[in-house]
Amino acid sequence: MKKLTHINQKGDAQLVDITDKAITHRKAIAEGTIQLNKETLKLIQANLIKKGDVLSTAKIAGIQAAKKTWELIPLCHSINLTKIDINFNIDKKNNTIVCQSSCECFAQTGLEMEALSAISIALLTIYDMVKAVDRTMVISNIHLVEKSGGRSGTYVSKDSVKAKVKKTANKKT
């Protein structure tokens, strides 16, 4: 079992020392879903929610969350993000909105928490903006899809689209 890096020899919480780590290009992609009533989804798409443009507001909230992750999660380092991208995919068949965030930087430590924070806050913003018309919403499946850079290399979730495409390609050969 790997040693937890945020715990010192006494068992106390600590900020991980990254002094000697190399600066590398790093990227993290995260994803999450919110399920809504069919009518609520239609209101969002028609931009008829009284609080305003739901998806644009959620995108800005997600960007802010990624930038402020180090202020929200006590043992996260502050990271100078060079790119934050947030996209929404509306799935009418399942009455869901899938949110995906992608964060990039050149740093000594990873930015998985920034990508995950972006998703969490973007989805919570959607919830907040439409809760007056739909209290049955369910936020789920917030997870890391992929990360690259640093000593530990690349990670791709077995559930990611990229992993599924690779698995399908391998079966054909």
Among residues 17, 128, 134, 159, which one is catalytic?
128
* 73 phi/psi in degrees, rounded to 5: -110, 110
Q: Cα(64)–Cα(49) distance, rounded to whole angstroms?
A: 22
Q: Cα(128)–Cα(118) distance, rounded to whole angstroms?
A: 15
The yes-or-no answer on residue 20 being catalytic is no
Helices (H), 68-111: 69-72
CB 99 within 8 A of CB 1: no
User: Which residues, in sequence order, are bridge partners of residue 65?
Assistant: none
Catalytic residues: 128
